[in-house]
Structure 1
């Protein structure tokens, strides 16, 4: 597994997150007047430039756990340490925690198994599991479909167990895997749609196809910006990610487009930045943005450890 791809994906994700943190919850109209064009600080959470949020924290917890293979109990334990002890946070302070994620982690801390902890009601379809599943693209790249989608199901379900959230994670990871295999953006999009529809058509997930109609049945890239919402609802988030990635070129342009959509800026820019990091490589991410990232050396060290573990296990 190419170390460059893993570094590009993880740093691309972190940088997108950090770009979005200072303007989270700002409206598209506000950002149209004062767009984000560079790494800035303070703003919404009054954090220095390069500060990433829960998106990156939970992604790094997953990366670290996967270095030793797939172990749901271990992942759940790391999530609990993040929430209560600020593990894998930029400055030993946990902030910006989604309600569904929080409720599930509290359940795990009280002894509920990670497999049973996730919330499965329709109102628990924020982007909290979608924002942390990118590492699975590397881990599952050569898995057979049934095993691959079963793992995605389990990882999402630690916090988000509703089929809509799980399907979003599957769509995203499947697309990222196609990029890793060297397909162009459009080829990867076509392949992803075929794979998802073929695999899930005869399952209960078929009921959620309508929610993702604009991604799976149509070409999301053809929509106008005004038709794209950038909220924390998992469907809106996934649509925004694909729209930005398919309509823009180059890491910088893609993530800045994502941030300037407004609202859930950090998560959408992070998820989009992960794809852009895979596709364009670490060289495409502005060096000054990487240098600004909090705990940059720790993140690079972890990404390299993850790369080594995948090569050793021939995954």
Structure 2
């Protein structure tokens, strides 16, 4: 294994996005699997149904099996996936899922797992799966379905700095149920695409993945990728076949234009994740699988911060997994289950800022159903915090605000440091829209960050913008309301508020709110 290096904040965001976006693609595709193909004018929604039938936002076997791998990778010591203990943990999780949690299962996967289930002569379940899978392929039975590609994403996160090790692991985990070399090749290509995207924030890793294959198969795969880049996703209708599924997913990603950022018109480059996943669903046939495959790579490129808030709120599935869990699993795998200095993402209680240890809360000046505050509010008795939904703009512990249902506790990936947000306009807008959406449902919402001084007022001001308040008035009124808490407004986040409204930001000397609050000195210099 390569030596673990400390990921950047952007790389953490992208690692967090891999399983989350894959699950969102899966849940988005569930209602349309094997049904008439959606037209370009129809927008897929997480409405549930499908082959399960599934609840709205519930993902299928694609993500269920990925979670089996992910949980094995965080439950074992950080050694190579090829280690028999790790591989056996994955195999055991597959078998447990097969007997207790599978809501749907592909024919090839079922064939292998059903035979292995009854073999008690071998103590290592991974060796039984490998034997059954390889025997099936050697006998000429179909073994190139999508069952291994759809679940491969966690493997890509485990050893981010070693492409050869990742490729070897991807093929071996594929072989547990799908021993056809084409299935293994597809997993190698896609894992390299994901691994590279997490590190570099581009899609070039897919082509680099082809170079990790045996030389005699590289030209064939480059041709398949060329075809995908030249044709729309629906032109690969046999997407129950691993090669066609990869082509459909790659087509959806590469043929969906990346929007040019125009915050004032609500257009963001990060929208590429959503638009490409919608295109993947429109491929038709095995819609959830194609979209899950595409989602893993899109999440690796764009990050958790690019996943729409309402998707994050809805997505869930076996075994009682939510968006928060998917984010945590992705980060933990990429960190080889080692938390950072603050214990994130494993700590039950995230450390409070030393200068913000006391709870602080105040009503939003333009909507008293929104409470503005800080993270120490999680320490209050729920009866003293009269909210039933929370939008967190900072890291929180797994037990912070535990009385709020997971569905109503949204965590928006916003960093209070200029230049640190991969999609700052989009993320700030999503935070405000999350508050707006929850309020439309009649929820009483807490909007908070660590100290309640920078992210909170800017997200609150953007929410005011959604209510029709101009940004200068919004910033003035919000900062006045928060003035006892001494807000220090991050100049970049403040600028995002004005950009989103399509309004020029006034010079520092003309900003009324500066006379009513403590201004971050860095802001004045800018």
TM range (shorter): 0.7 to 0.9
Shift of 1:308: 4.1
Q: Does 1:138 align with 2:160?
A: no
Aligned to 2:186: 168
Residues 244, 272 of structure 1: 8 Å contact kept: yes
Aligned to 2:98: 83
Aligned to 1:90: none
Shift of 1:273: 0.9
The one-character-per-residue Cα deviations of 1:126-170 (angstroms, maximum 9, x if unpaired) are 10000111111111322252x333222210010001111111111
Greater strand fraction, Structure 1 or Structure 2: 2
Specify every segment of 5 or more residues in structure 1 that has no aligned partner in the other structure, as ranges: 87-93
2: CA distance, partners of 1:143 / 1:178: 10
Specify every segment of 5 or more residues in structure 2 that has no aligned partner in the other structure, as ranges: 1-6, 120-124, 259-271, 340-526
Residues 29, 288 of structure 2: 8 Å contact kept: yes
Matches within 5 A, 1:1-315: 1=7, 2-28=11-37, 31-32=38-39, 35-67=42-74, 68=76, 69=78, 70=81, 71-86=86-101, 94-111=102-119, 113=127, 114-118=129-133, 119-120=136-137, 121=140, 123-143=142-162, 145=164, 147-182=165-200, 184-185=202-203, 187-193=204-210, 195-196=211-212, 199-201=213-215, 206=216, 210=220, 212=221, 214-215=223-224, 218=226, 220-225=228-233, 227-229=235-237, 231-248=239-256, 249=258, 250-294=272-316, 295-296=321-322, 297-311=324-338
**What is the total number of aligned residue pairs between the two structures?**
293
Question: Which structure has the larger Rg over C-alpha atoms?
Answer: 2
Q: Secondary structure at the match of 1:136?
A: helix
Shifted more, 164-173 versus 33-42: the winner is 33-42
Residues 107, 117 of structure 1: 8 Å contact kept: yes
Greater helix fraction, Structure 1 or Structure 2: 1
Shift of 1:79: 0.4
Q: Secondary structure at the match of 2:39?
A: helix
Q: Larger relative CO (CA 8 A, sep 6+): 1 or 2?
A: 1
Residues 158, 336 of structure 2: 8 Å contact kept: no
- For residues 225 and 16 of structure 1, do their structure 2 counterparts lie closer, same or farther at Cα, with a shift above 3 Å needed? closer
Residues 163, 208 of structure 1: 8 Å contact kept: no
